[in-house]
Structure 1
Amino acid sequence: MDEGGEFRCWDEMIPDALGLIFSNLSLQEILTVIPRVCKSWGKAVSGPYCWQEIDIEEWSQQCEPDHLDRMLQMLISRSCGSLRKLCVSGIPNDSIFSFIANHAGCSLRTLRLPRSEISDSIVEQVAGRLSNITFLDLSCCGKITARALEAIGKHCKSLVGLVRVMHPLEVADKVCQDDEAHAIATTMPKLRHLEVAYLPLTTEGVLKILFGCKELEFLDLRGCWDVKIDDSLLKEKYSGLKVLGPLIVDYYERNYWDSCSDYSDSSGYLGWEYMDDDGIGDYDGESSDGMWDDEQGLELRFYEGFDDTVAEFGWPASP
């Protein structure tokens, strides 16, 4: 009820407005609570309005691999080809990456896939369907090499942000990966933001990137210990470029990454996202404890069919 004493018909709001409101809620609340309030809300969360931006990175770090596959298939199918942003950690196989490219590739602008087990071959096969991507995160993807980066660069002509941050222990035995630097330099000329922290590069590899990516505004070289670039050269030829590292020891390095695992916090590196003019808002959900207390004239209407969809993920039914 509003201040004038009139009831607001929340169930009559247009679906895209409802989707924007529901984006403040957790994934579990959207899938288990909202559909059981009323038919219009259930329709909103089963359609594309809530799924133009899917961020399940935190949830995916703790779920079972088969649950992750089914969750992605369900949510991407609901987006109905309107998915603009997808953030998910630890994709376990090539088949689910192929599903993403086939069902959401044309609309995707931002794609974050840290710690994923995807291969060069699948990236080469589907890169052409990801042509509209502007920001890509392939951090700690151990099976990805220069082959995949080259395929992405050749097909994703609008790419302006790339994150290729590695785990120090996973690259400790690798002498050099300048082939990745070469792939970036020769196929991604529009890059403005590049993170290659702990990627074993040499000075020559980084100079290739600087020569080939003339629009760079930010370059993260933390942990690239073999890179030696004269500050005077950077100031003279790349005055508009901000370089972080390589001689910077961050929190994870000081602690020898002891606390880092497949389920660790992924906020150890910067992640600037370049979006289109519409932008993407980040929302912090607020607690709803007590929201039903002492409400007058509140009618709760429950509908069947939603519990079966989410029960397999181990979530309890909505109260």
Structure 2
Amino acid sequence: MGEFAELRSWEELIPDALGLIFRNLSLQQILSVVPRVCKSWSRAVSGPYCWQEIDLEEWSRRVNPEQIERMLHLLVRRSSGYCRRLAISGLPNDSLFSFIADYAGSLQSLEVPRSEMSDAIVEQVAGSFSNITFLDISSCKNIGVRALKSFGMHCKSLATLRRTMHPLDVAGKVCQDDEALAIALTMPKLRHLELAYLLLTTQGVLQILSHCQELEFLDIRGCWDVKLDERLVKEKNGKLRVLGPEIVDSYERSFWNECSDYSDSSEYSWDFMDDGDAYSEDMSDEQSVWDDDVDEQNLERLQVRFYGGGFNEAFAGFEWPLSP
């Protein structure tokens, strides 16, 4: 053509663009390799551009609480309050949950299954999670009615709630209809609700159906005391799909194994309807995260799924935000 388009080097790309490129790397590579390439890349991974979405759930199940705390502090601080999704399993204490709340201004999806935070800390900091639309507090045994009420009162746009339990989580409890009532009275905009293996009765579920008129999906697998009349449910909400209670899953096959994730292939019991400078400053923090004895297989599993990547309905329609 006689003329060639102007060539630009990689280090001249804006941080937003670099963040989109780095989404294809593992977290270990982002933290340990990318910062050593050049100063502009180091600045990109040290700022919020790469941390719009932080998924540590698989990794956090295989490490000790000290590693969880160090990694969470490193990445959430880097997000500078611009994180949209945070997924981590097994928060070990109240202080770490409070730390998350300090950076939750933009958070829309919070997934903290198997965590140890208490009702008291949720009541204190729930106001910081006002933008949440997706909440997973499955197998969080130290919280109950008080926490659910606090989330419901402050998270007015909450559309999806996961509160599934392992049968061992509810051993010794008698009835959890009080949790069902808390959900019914404070979360009227729910569209997707998972309560598998909670100790509910028919009356508790009917409270939810009466108050959550926008509900489209209800998972009550293993809630054996619930007996719903199909005709009555259709009258209350014709668009509702119900899964359970009489569904045989991995809990029934092996009482001690983890339940398999819900998938589109699952059978519904009823079906009512046819995702000095910045270049050197953070190197010690990055390296220290990986200095612990974690096997390579686990490191490879530690991935960051960036915002906008098909996790769930809560993310549909959002675009990559402008640089903060």
TM > 0.5? yes
Checking the alignment, whether the CA contact within 8 Å between 1:185 and 1:212 is kept in structure 2 is yes
Q: Distance in 1 between matches of 2:47 and 2:289?
A: 20
Q: Distance in 1 between matches of 2:202 and 2:173?
A: 16
Partner amino acid for 1:123? V
SS of alignment partner, residue 108 of structure 1:
coil
SS of alignment partner, residue 107 of structure 2:
coil
Q: Distance in 1 between matches of 2:260 and 2:60?
A: 15
Q: What residue in structure 2 maps to residue 68 of structure 1?
A: 68
Partner amino acid for 2:89? S
Q: Distance in 1 between matches of 2:240 and 2:214?
A: 9
The answer to whether structure 1 residue 182 and structure 2 residue 181 are counterparts is: yes
Partner amino acid for 2:261? G
Q: Distance in 1 between matches of 2:135 and 2:195?
A: 12
- Aligned residue-pair number: 276
Q: Which runs of 5+ in 2 are unaligned?
A: 265-274, 293-324
Q: Distance in 1 between matches of 2:195 and 2:263?
A: 11
Checking the alignment, whether the CA contact within 8 Å between 1:117 and 1:143 is kept in structure 2 is yes
SS of alignment partner, residue 73 of structure 2:
helix
> 1:126: Cα distance to partner?
0.4
- For residues 236-251 of structure 1, the aligned pairs below 5 Å read 236-251=235-250
- For residues 141-180 of structure 1, the aligned pairs below 5 Å read 141-180=140-179
> 1:193: Cα distance to partner?
0.6
> 1:249: Cα distance to partner?
0.9
SS of alignment partner, residue 44 of structure 1:
helix
> 1:305: Cα distance to partner?
4.8
Large movers: runs of 4+ above 3 Å: 4-8, 303-307
The answer to whether structure 1 residue 259 and structure 2 residue 257 are counterparts is: yes
> 1:26: Cα distance to partner?
1.4
**TM-score (norm. length: structure 2):** 0.80
Checking the alignment, whether the CA contact within 8 Å between 2:188 and 2:212 is kept in structure 1 is yes
Checking the alignment, whether the CA contact within 8 Å between 2:210 and 2:236 is kept in structure 1 is no
Q: Distance in 2 between matches of 1:51 and 1:215?
A: 32
Name which structure has the greater RCO, CA cutoff 8 Å, separation 6+.
2
> 1:12: Cα distance to partner?
1.5
Q: Distance in 1 between matches of 2:196 and 2:184?
A: 16
CA deviation profile, 1:41-82 (whole Å, cap 9, x unmatched): 111000000011111111111122112112111111111111
- For residues 110-129 of structure 1, the aligned pairs below 5 Å read 110-129=109-128
Checking the alignment, whether the CA contact within 8 Å between 2:160 and 2:192 is kept in structure 1 is yes
Q: Distance in 1 between matches of 2:291 and 2:13?
A: 28
Q: Distance in 2 between matches of 1:270 and 1:121?
A: 34
Q: What residue in structure 2 maps to residue 97 of structure 1?
A: 97
SS of alignment partner, residue 35 of structure 1:
helix
Q: What residue in structure 2 maps to residue 275 of structure 1?
A: none
Checking the alignment, whether the CA contact within 8 Å between 2:149 and 2:183 is kept in structure 1 is yes
Q: What residue in structure 1 maps to residue 311 of structure 2?
A: none
* Compared CA separation, residues 31 and 173, structure 1 to 2 (3 A): same
The answer to whether structure 1 residue 212 and structure 2 residue 211 are counterparts is: yes
Checking the alignment, whether the CA contact within 8 Å between 1:90 and 1:113 is kept in structure 2 is yes
Q: Distance in 2 between matches of 1:148 and 1:306?
A: 36
> 1:234: Cα distance to partner?
1.9
Q: What residue in structure 2 maps to residue 22 of structure 1?
A: 22
Q: Percent identity of the aligned residues?
A: 63
Checking the alignment, whether the CA contact within 8 Å between 1:252 and 1:268 is kept in structure 2 is no
Checking the alignment, whether the CA contact within 8 Å between 2:197 and 2:223 is kept in structure 1 is yes
